[in-house]
Amino acid sequence: MKSISGAGAAITAIESDGNNTKTPRNSNIAPLIYNLLTELGEDPERQGLERTPVRVARAWEDLTAGYHLDINDVVNDAIFEDDCGEIVAVKKIHFFSVCEHHLLPFFGVCSVAYVPDGRIIGLSKIPRIVDMFARRLQVQERLTSQVAQAVNEVLQPAGVAVTMEAHHLCMMMRGVEKQDSRTVTSEMLGVFKTNPQTRQEFLTLMGWSPLAG
């Protein structure tokens, strides 16, 4: 078996290849993937795999890019004074994340709503907030809560509601292998938690039901 240090020359050659000019920021990841392929019984220097360590390193940097962002980077002063006092919602935000238990993807749709209390946020910032937290190692329960808490923090609205519905490859590909199962989570803050009518209005607007096909 070739060690991580033994993989160095191959990785250097891959990184300097004219077809791979964008090298990963973290130079330690590609050698680890090289060794993983070896441990799995593969030849990481065969044609189909010779560039895979660097490709995987780049992919993981994209999948975990949220670690390098904070809420101020994402919102970027896109908060405005406004008298609106009704529900503002963005629905069916597609997201992709990675389960921290098995390092397998989970993906689905997210809906986010808030009731303003004198301030609104640029609508494009809401999907960006979802992406910031999704692009980290996650569990869906925490991801849902983090999105809600972030919107609550930056806007201090009368209420925030977040729902997520996702497929988890760790359940679909291994373990129980239930391909049609979906995980549903929600987080309600402020009036969405205390006022059943407001909560139901949000769920109706989203067309959201955990029993829907």
Within-domain flag for 102: yes
Considering the domain architecture, whether residues 200 and 141 belong to the same structural domain is answered as: yes
Q: For residue 67, give both structure tokens.
A: 């670690």
For the annotated catalytic residues, the residue numbers are 99-102, 140, 168, 170
Contacts of 118 (CB under 8 A, 6+ apart): 81, 82, 83
Each residue's pLDDT tens digit, 163-189? 999 999 988 887 776 777 889 999 999
Domain of residue 164: give its range: 71-206
Within-domain flag for 3: no
pLDDT of residue 4: 52
Q: Is the pLDDT score of 96 beyond 50?
A: yes
The b-or-e profile of 183-207 (16+ CB within 10 A means b, else e) is bbbbbbbbbbeeeeebbebbbeebe
The number of distinct structural domains making up the chain is 2
CATH code, domain with 156? 3.30.1130.10
Considering the domain architecture, whether residues 44 and 12 belong to the same structural domain is answered as: yes
The percentage of the chain sitting over the pLDDT mark of 90, rounded to a whole number, equals: 77
Within-domain flag for 211: no
Considering the domain architecture, whether residues 43 and 88 belong to the same structural domain is answered as: no
Considering the domain architecture, whether residues 59 and 118 belong to the same structural domain is answered as: no
Considering the domain architecture, whether residues 152 and 55 belong to the same structural domain is answered as: no
